[in-house]
Structure 1
Amino acid sequence: MTTLLVIAKEPRPGRVKTRLTPPYTPAQAAELAAAALADTLSTVARTPASRRVLVLDGHPGPWLPPGFDVVPQCGGGLDERLAAAFAACTGPALLIGMDTPQVSPELLAVDFADCDACFGPAHDGGFWALGLAAPDPELLRGVPMSRADTGAVQRGRLVDAGLRVRDLSPLRDVDTAADADAVAAEAPHGRFAAELARVRVTARGEDVRGQAVPGR
């Protein structure tokens, strides 16, 4: 079976989802990040796997369900951190981030019987998932991250290595407020959608009154 890897940051204000501010405050952005991470980990926990690993920058919180091994992220750029996550795997592995709370067990239940790699493109030009039947960290090192062509470069790296690549369904990352709205609409019953509805009310109150809504 496959090892499922989730690479994530501890959802602390000012360290996560900074592109959500404005319209949301750093604290609200962190709350949304925590909800997205909780939804993601819950989905991974329900997906058959040989091992579930949270590759974490920071410390675990109440959003972490049982059944996960927690390992610290290494230093360096995102490409190095992703490479290190795969380097620790001895068999097939699928890696995702914390930015797609709409992900489902069906999307994560990949089969490498007819491919060497699975690639999940993101709408912003990056990728939300990368699976390797035989993890090779060199397939990620040097790939430019957080750019509009990141996904194309990473997929090209797989093809150039002679791997048979299966494309997964594209998903939208939660980066901006518009992304948050779209993702919540795709998964309206998740914790992320509920948290977004809550912080929207608070944000509207702050816009109108210039202060936080009492009791929220």
Structure 2
Amino acid sequence: MPTEDKKILLVDDDELITMSLEMIINAEEGFNVVGKGGSGREGIDLYDKLSPDLLLMDIRMADMNGLEAAEEILKRHKDAVILFLTTFSDDEYIVKALKLGVRGYLLKQDYKSLPAAIKAALNGQSVFGGAVVDKLPALMNKAQSRESGFDYESKDITEKEFEVIQLVAEGYSNKEIAGKLFLSEGTVRNYLSTILEKLELRDRTQLAIFYLKNHQ
């Protein structure tokens, strides 16, 4: 029995962009663009009406921007899967997007990887373009220390494990972390595996994003 196509909603104030994206996405087996909007407010209305599996949305738009729209949609639909696709890798935008809890942040020049990114997001993965991932270590350096809205004690995170989390978030390799904390690389790997398990995260990138979201 064939599986039902995943419903995709597109929101961008450039009609040529939405038409191009519709062609790219509909050409991929298993996807179906069910609606297109031109503003954040229209995106909210269409999301309520169409209940898409994934919303692909620009950030800078007239009437209401994508960040504001995503916040409202996530209030109404906490399980909404939202990907931002924008021209701007602005630090403030990235931080706000991560704090909102959207599934990913991609740049429009990465459009060729869009079908794979949509599949990954629908499978529960966080998706970020290379230029965005490159910015994460610098953004981490702006984050506060252990003061955050997240209760690390509830996950049984030790002080040493928290130090490892901070250093991973700042972009250090296992070898560099081992040197800073006077540990072996094997011990650092063990710490990292334990941390990922405790926080229910998949990899270093997710850990860095988690830290940023909770300390910015």
| TM-score, length basis structure 1 | 0.32
Using CA pairs below 8 Å that are at least 6 residues apart, which structure has the higher relative contact order?
1
Name whichever structure is richer in helix by fraction: 2
| TM-score, normalised by the number of residues in structure 2 | 0.32
